[in-house]
Chains A and B, each alone.
Chain A
Amino acid sequence: MNCRSEVLEVSVEGRQIEEAMLAVLHTILLHRSTGKFHYKKEGTYSIGTVGTQDVDCDFIDFTYVRVSSEELDRALRKAVGEFKDALRNSGGDGMGQISLEFYQKKKSRWPFSDECIPWEVWTVRVNVVSLANEQERQICREKVGEKLCEKVINIVEVMNRHEYLPKMPTQSEVDNVFDTGLKDVQPYLYKISYQITDSLGTSVTTTMRRLIKDTLAL
């Protein structure tokens, strides 16, 4: 099984980084989250309900829809916040990328740790621009809004190709496919990582987020 890889590129002003990243990541996770599974005795299961809410951006003329889950929102905001700080502090020309990777866990026998097999990776390449005056900022607000509209359409197009998705797991396997740690929704297992490109164009560092502890259990 090959991992599907999608790349999106955006150019934003510094203060737009967070909202633009959240818009893209939340749109992806909206499509990659289900309600909580409740397994019944016969091996069947019922699925909880996913609520949605509109989020208006403050620095971009854009509104996106996210899953109504504060825990998920907090996790994404934390990751995006770290990415933004790394980008701002890099001192380079303000380029970086953030990756959202969906993976499945494959249990291995001891002493080997579980394998993480990615099946879909979304990479958002960010180019940070600096603007001189308020007029440019206003134009940037609208332009970035339009760009994000395009990105949402791209994401929806990929999602509706109905390509590989992990098959619905049994109760014992559910943690290998879904993140069951949230109380109200159940996204596919995912991890977020980012890279900052310095001015020489080489990637400086990667920071692994979430569940990296599992892979380094040994």
Chain B
Amino acid sequence: MDTDLSSQDRKDLDKFIKFFALKTVQVIVQARLGEKICTRSSSSPTGSDWFNLAIKDIPEVTHEAKKALAGQLPAVGRSMCVEISLKTSEGDSMELEIWCLEMNEKCDKEIKVSYTVYNRLSLLLKSLLAITRVTPAYRLSRKQGHEYVILYRIYFGEVQLSGLGEGFQTVRVGTVGTPVGTITLSCAYRINLAFMSTRTTAEDNAAVYPSVEDSQEVCTTSFSTSPPSQLSSSRLSYQPAALGVGSADMGYPVVFAGGLNAAHPHQLIVPGKEGGVPLVPSQPPHAAQADQERMAMCTPLDGAHYSAATPSSSEDTETVSNSSEAKSGSPHDILETIFVRKVGAFVNKPINQVTMANLDIPFAMFSPKNIELEDNDPMVNPPDSPETESPLLGSLHSEGSSGNSTGNTHDDFVMVDFKPAFSKDDILPMDLGTFYREFQNPPQLSSLSIDIGAQSMAEDLDSLPEKLAVHEKNVKEFDAFVETLQ
């Protein structure tokens, strides 16, 4: 094979490949320094700019690259790799990318070394410049600083992708065929983030989060599966946690991650990758426990909500509003239906007597003659009251009048304070019940009544000329004011 290639061409090709490898390393490392790169174009060739591209040479990087190459060139089975990793200030580290410069056996004998190969290598370097800004690690590297730094490592030989975790993605930068083989440049990058933490306590995890959270959020925003559009789902799913709610319950993506971290330092976690629910296919026991803990945290809250809600739906005596839900409509319907009294949450005494009349009259236990006075019972035959929208209001009126009426007819009638749910007894001067009663029937706004509205409109129109006259007198003042605004 080599005899087909002239010795000069062979020398040139080896030189091109060597310098291409060195320039590749420079481009990759410089793209991860965290700064914007800027080099100047020069119309006059200086002779030292390989591949007609202005790529600076950082001496330390060149030194490391040459050390790794040790005089060899990328060949079949011997690839040059640049590993980019992230290291936090706490000492956790993680591989982000592996850039591979490989050579395979597919040769292109016809290609001209000094011209076509050189130009194509130049094109490949330009592609590398573009692609290094596009992989997730770029945005991470731009934000490195106090919390984490980006590191690089160059090695030569077999490509090691195991440190990238599961589900890593690959992007091919390009290929160049040569008479001795095809050069391929590609990048394998991590999708899922996990910090290899040896810490297991919750406090430590909590301590890690404030610093890690930032970068973790950064990581998830920058990271992508392929296609990168999936990033948006992880970002979106982060938002519920971010938007929330300061309570530990709602912060669970991070908590969850902590639990999983404890169990599997190498486990890959994408908070909210699967549309908001951190799913791990095979849950290790610790993770399951964490999950259960989370559920346990949630349940009492839910339960509390639920139990708080029940009195309003089932309780009959304490909260008058319930009666509206228990019955289907107006008080007249009560006569037609039979209810079983439910004991509400805040009821002190169980009520044994169950009658139709008792069901809906508040404080029925205090009016023993209700059954006989059914016809006079305002609940059954409500007095004329102003139109009210909710039966609640009607019954309150009734209650008031029933209180009055029964007070008139029964001296031993005891006025019991209206006790709405959740209210505390006699602690506040203005408790919920009092407030409710006082503001139950506000008077109608005078401006809303038609007559008054019409009157005021007429008055307004009449007074307009006078007002205009006054304003015209003060024109100069207004102008001066406007000028001060400008």
Residues on A close to B: CB < 8 A?
27, 30-31, 34-36, 38, 46-54, 56, 61, 63-65, 67-69, 135, 139, 142-143, 146-147, 149-150, 152-153, 155-157, 159-160, 162, 168, 183-185
Contact = CB atoms under 8 A, between A and B. Distances in A.
Contacts of B157: none
Contact of A156 (B49, B127, B239): B127
Contact of A142 (B36, B52, B133, B232): B232
A47 to B, nearest CB: 5
B221 A48 contact: no
A141 to B, nearest CB: 10
Contacts of B40: 51, 68
State the 7 A-B residue pairs at the shortest beta-carbon distance, nearest first. Answer: A160-B174, A146-B228, A51-B39, A53-B38, A51-B54, A51-B41, A54-B36
A159 B174 contact: yes
Q: Main SS of chain B's interface residues?
A: mixed
18 contacts: A27-B130, A30-B126, A30-B130, A38-B43, A46-B45, A49-B45, A49-B52, A51-B54, A52-B53, A53-B39, A54-B36, A64-B133, A68-B54, A152-B133, A153-B131, A160-B123, A162-B176, A184-B43
Given A30-B129, A34-B52, 4 more contacts: A27-B130, A31-B127, A49-B46, A143-B229
A50 B40 CA distance: 7
B37 interface: yes
B22 to A, nearest CB: 17
B54 A52 contact: yes
Q: Main SS of chain A's interface residues?
A: mixed
Nearest to A153: B171
B44 A38 contact: yes
Contact of A150 (B36, B173, B175, B228): B228
Contacts of B37: 52-54
Interface of B: 36-46, 49, 52-54, 115, 120, 123-124, 126-127, 129-131, 133-135, 138-139, 142, 171-176, 221, 224, 227-229, 231-232, 235-236, 239
Nearest to A45: B45
A139 B231 CA distance: 10
Contact of B235 (A48, A142, A159): A142
Given A142-B235, A146-B232, A48 B171 contact: no
A60 to B, nearest CB: 12
Contacts of B126: 30-31, 52
Contacts of A56: 36
Contacts of B229: 143, 146-147, 150
Contact of B41 (A38, A168, A185): A185
A48 B231 contact: no
B112 to A, nearest CB: 11
Contact of B49 (A49, A53, A155, A183): A49
Nearest to A56: B36
A68 B131 contact: no
Contacts of A50: 41, 52-54
A38 B46 CA distance: 12
A61 B138 CA distance: 11
Given A69-B41, A156-B130, A149 B123 contact: no
Contacts of B130: 27, 30-31, 64-65, 152, 155-156
A42 to B, nearest CB: 15
A149 B41 contact: no
Given A50-B54, A54-B37, A146 B231 contact: yes
